[in-house]
Amino acid sequence: MVLREVVVNSEIIEYNDISGCYILRPWAMEIWELLKEFFDAEIKKLKLKSYYFPLFITENVVQKKKDHFEGFAPEVAWVTKTGNSELEAPIAIRPTSETVMYPYFAKWIRSHRNLPLRCNQWCSVVRWECSNPIPLIRSREFLWQEGHTVFATKEESDEEVLHILELYRRIYEEFLAVPVSKGRKSEVEKFAGGLYTTSVEAFIPNTGRGIQAATSNCLGQNFAKMFEIFFEDENDPAQKKKEKNKRSLVWQNSWAYTTRSIGVMVMTHGDDKGLVLPPRVAPIQVMVIPDPLEDADMTAIKEVCETIVYTLSQAGIRADLDARENYTPEWKHSHWEMKGVPLRIEIDVKDLANKQVRVVRRDNGAKVDIPSTDLVEHVQVLLDRIQDSLFETAKQKRDACIEVVYTWDEFTAAVNDKKLILAPWCDEEEVEKDVRARTEGDLGSAKTLCAPFDQPDLVEGTVCFASGKPAKTWSFWGRSY
Ligand SMILES: O=C1CCCN[C@@H]1CCCn1cnc2cc(F)c(Cl)cc2c1=O
Ligand SMILES: [Mg+2]
In this structure, what CATH number is given to the domain that contains residue 235?
Answer: 3.30.930.10
Does 102 contact ligand 1 (Cβ within 6 A)?
no
Read off the pLDDT of residues 408-467 as tens digits, 9 standing for 90 and up. 999 999 999 999 999 999 999 999 999 999 999 999 999 999 999 999 999 999 999 999
Residue 239: its pLDDT value, please? Answer: 57
Count of the separate structural domains present in the chain: 3
Please state the rounded mean pLDDT for residues 259-266.
98
Residues 301 and 248 in one domain: no
Confidence check: pLDDT of 66 > 80 = no
Does 181 contact ligand 1 (Cβ within 6 A)?
no
Q: Which ligand is nearest to the Cα of residue 191, counting in written order?
A: 1
For residue 147, give the ligand 1 atom closest to its CA: 4
Q: Is residue 74 part of a domain?
A: yes
Q: Is residue 279 part of a domain?
A: no
* Residue of 65 and 138 predicted with greater confidence: 138
Q: Is residue 464 part of a domain?
A: yes
Does 255 contact ligand 1 (Cβ within 6 A)?
yes
Does 217 contact ligand 1 (Cβ within 6 A)?
yes
Please tell me the distance between residue 61's alpha carbon and the centre of ligand 1 in angstroms. Answer: 15
Tell me which of 384, 414, 443 is where a domain ends: 384
- Other C-beta atoms within 10 Å of 9: how many? 16
Residue 438: its pLDDT value, please? Answer: 98
Please tell me the distance between residue 463's alpha carbon and the centre of ligand 2 in angstroms. Answer: 32
State the CATH number of the domain containing residue 347: 3.40.50.800
H/E element, 92:
strand 85-93
Residue 245: its pLDDT value, please? Answer: 60
pLDDT class of 39 with cuts at 50, 70, 90:
very high
Residues 90 and 196 in one domain: yes
Residues 11 and 153 in one domain: yes
Residue 241: its pLDDT value, please? Answer: 58
Does 191 contact ligand 1 (Cβ within 6 A)?
yes
pLDDT class of 242 with cuts at 50, 70, 90:
low
Tell me which of 269, 292, 312 is where a domain ends: 269
Q: Is residue 389 part of a domain?
A: no
In 194-315, which residue ranges form alpha helices assigned H by DSSP?
Answer: 222-227, 237-241, 260-269, 298-314
Residue 372 structural domain: 284-384
Does 146 contact ligand 1 (Cβ within 6 A)?
yes
For residue 215, give the ligand 1 atom closest to its CA: 1
Q: Which ligand is nearest to the Cα of residue 161, counting in written order?
A: 1
User: Phi-psi bin for 209: left (phi > 0), alpha (psi -120 to 50), beta?
Assistant: beta
Please tell me the distance between residue 288's alpha carbon and the centre of ligand 2 in angstroms. Answer: 43
State the CATH number of the domain containing residue 446: 3.30.110.30
Residues 64 and 37 in one domain: yes
Please state the rounded mean pLDDT for residues 311-324.
97
For residue 62, give the ligand 1 atom closest to its CA: 19
For residue 74, give the ligand 1 atom closest to its CA: 17
Residues 48 and 194 in one domain: yes
Distance, CA of 154 to CA of 211 (rounded, Å): 29
Work out the angle between the directed axes of helices 375-401 and 260-269 (0-180°, nearest 10): 90
Q: Is residue 191 part of a domain?
A: yes
Tell me which of 269, 300, 335 is where a domain ends: 269
Confidence check: pLDDT of 127 > 90 = yes
> From the centroid of its chain, how far is CA 365?
28
Residue 206: its pLDDT value, please? Answer: 95
Confidence check: pLDDT of 65 > 90 = no
Distance, CA of 423 to CA of 181 (rounded, Å): 15
Say what the pTM is: 0.97
How do strand 420-425 and strand 473-480 relate by DSSP bridges?
Answer: antiparallel
Q: Which ligand is nearest to the Cα of residue 192, counting in written order?
A: 1
Please state the rounded mean pLDDT for residues 125-153.
97
Distance, CA of 83 to CA of 321 (rounded, Å): 49
Read off the pLDDT of residues 347-373 as tens digits, 9 standing for 90 and up. 988 888 899 999 999 999 999 999 988
Residues 61 and 21 in one domain: yes
Residues 417 and 454 in one domain: yes
For residue 75, give the ligand 1 atom closest to its CA: 17
Does 185 contact ligand 1 (Cβ within 6 A)?
no
- Among 61, 91, 93, 96, which is best to mutate for testing ligand 1, by the most ligand atoms less than 8 A from CB? 96
Please tell me the distance between residue 328's alpha carbon and the centre of ligand 2 in angstroms. Answer: 46
Measure the N-to-C terminal CA separation of the chain; round to a whole number of Å: 18
Please state the rounded mean pLDDT for residues 73-102.
96
Beta strand residue intervals within 314-454, DSSP E: 319-321, 343-347, 356-361, 367-371, 402-404, 420-425, 447-452
How do strand 117-126 and strand 49-50 relate by DSSP bridges?
Answer: parallel
Does 215 contact ligand 1 (Cβ within 6 A)?
yes
Residues 16 and 148 in one domain: yes
Residues 335 and 237 in one domain: no
For residue 216, give the ligand 1 atom closest to its CA: 3
Read off the pLDDT of residues 146-191 as tens digits, 9 standing for 90 and up. 999 999 999 999 999 999 999 999 999 999 999 999 999 999 999 9
Percent with pLDDT over 90 in the chain: 89
Q: Which ligand is nearest to the Cα of residue 71, counting in written order?
A: 1
**φ, ψ (nearest 5 deg) of residue 181:** -110, 130
How many residues are recorded in the chain? 481
Residues 105 and 227 in one domain: yes
Residue 68: its pLDDT value, please? Answer: 74
| Residues ≥6 apart with Cβ < 8 Å to 371 | 355, 356, 378
Least confident stretch, 59-73, 81-95, 321-335: 59-73
Residue 273: its pLDDT value, please? Answer: 97
Distance, CA of 127 to CA of 260 (rounded, Å): 14
Residues 414 and 450 in one domain: yes
Does 95 contact ligand 1 (Cβ within 6 A)?
yes
Q: Is residue 451 part of a domain?
A: yes
Three-class secondary structure of residue 351 per DSSP: helix
Q: Is residue 392 part of a domain?
A: no
Beta bridge partners of 204: 209
**φ, ψ (nearest 5 deg) of residue 443:** -95, 5
Distance, CA of 88 to CA of 63 (rounded, Å): 15
Q: Is residue 446 part of a domain?
A: yes
Residues 254 and 341 in one domain: no
Residue 293: its pLDDT value, please? Answer: 74
Using the Cα atoms of residue 114, residue 115, residue 116 and residue 117 in order, give the sign of their dihedral.
positive
pLDDT class of 240 with cuts at 50, 70, 90:
low
pLDDT class of 125 with cuts at 50, 70, 90:
very high
Does 190 contact ligand 1 (Cβ within 6 A)?
no
- Other C-beta atoms within 10 Å of 236: how many? 16
Residue 201: its pLDDT value, please? Answer: 99
